[in-house]
Amino acid sequence: MMEKETCVEQLISYLLDVLPEYRAEAEAVPMDAPARRYLLRCLMNVWNPRRKLPEAYFALEQQLLSVETREKEPVDVLALPEKEPGIALFQGDITRLSADAIVNAANSQMLGCFVPGHGCIDNAIHSAAGLRLRAACYELMKAQGHEEATGQAKITPGFALPARYVMHTVGPIVRDRVTEKHRQQLRSCYRSCLELARKHQLRSIAFCCISTGVFHFPRREAAEIAVNEVQEYQKKHGDAPRVIFNVFQDEDRDIYEDILG
Ligand code: AR6
């Protein structure tokens, strides 16, 4: 592969060809490697899938992202110790997980996060998987013809991620207090993903803490619902996949440690 920095510059240049409105801003970004890499991420985040990129962009992006994926040291989820039969816990970045599927906390547009450099999981997953993920989501959503309902899930390849698939699910948005409907919708997110996993005969699935960030579902209650739904499902289906609860923050780790004993 060409030098990483050259690769980043080439990818920025491809993106600016289809996003000329960002050219002036991009030119003002200093030439140091971390700033240029961040610029690339931001341009990827704002890319509209109707602006056609050349195949060469996707090929080069795949090269860069797969090197970065290796550098982040993928974690084999089947090697994680189990908290109870069929359930493991992992604290850290979900884009490191080498699982059959990781679960993304999406929104109803289901095209990933368009806010440049945003810290949500949707942004992290799309940025690490590459723009073929947004293109794949765009095709699915175009075929569907309407926004994704809360509690449903869709599956795409993982592209440059170490995970084979990504499941995209839309959790409930909590405004002031949690209602029974919110609880049912959150249960449904977990169940829909587990159903998809079984349908695709997957052996492992890593869930993030759906809805507990931007969507404001209280963490403790969300974790109780998540664990309960997974346990019930695994009890009912002998061929249910191994589940990894992926926590990011210490507070969530403590909650899951407590619930899983
Ligand atoms: N790895 C694992 N977990 C993470 C990571 C990561 N790299 N980054 C964040 N988290 P959120 P939501 C955790 O807000 O509440 C997006 O903009 C984070 O600590 O990402 O379902 C979508 O486009 C939290 O526990 O998702 C939607 O518009 C969890 O991921 C909206 O946010 C979920 O936080 C969805 O909101």
Domains parsed from the chain with CATH numbers: 4-70 (no CATH), 74-260 (3.40.220.10)
pTM of the entire predicted model = 0.98
Residue found by looking up tokens 């404001």 in the block = 216
State if residue 97 touches ligand 1 by the CB under 6 angstroms criterion.
Answer: no
Alpha carbons 40 and 224: distance in angstroms, whole number: 38
Torsion sign (Cα): 212, 215, 221, 222: negative
pLDDT at 261: 85
pLDDT at 219: 98
State if residue 151 touches ligand 1 by the CB under 6 angstroms criterion.
Answer: no
Alpha carbons 111 and 123: distance in angstroms, whole number: 10
Give 124 Cα–ligand 1 centroid separation in angstroms.
Answer: 9
Q: Pick the residue whose CA is nearest to atom 31 on ligand 1.
A: 214
Strands 204-207, 101-106: pairing kind: parallel
Query: Which secondary-structure segment (H or E) carries 91?
Result: strand 87-91
State if residue 122 touches ligand 1 by the CB under 6 angstroms criterion.
Answer: yes
State if residue 173 touches ligand 1 by the CB under 6 angstroms criterion.
Answer: no
Torsion sign (Cα): 234, 230, 128, 172: positive
State if residue 225 touches ligand 1 by the CB under 6 angstroms criterion.
Answer: no
Give 4 Cα–ligand 1 centroid separation in angstroms.
Answer: 28
Residue found by looking up tokens 């992992």 in the block = 90
pLDDT at 2: 79
The parts of the chain modelled with pLDDT lower than 50 are: none
CA neighbours within 13 Å on the CB side: how many for 166? 32
State if residue 249 touches ligand 1 by the CB under 6 angstroms criterion.
Answer: yes
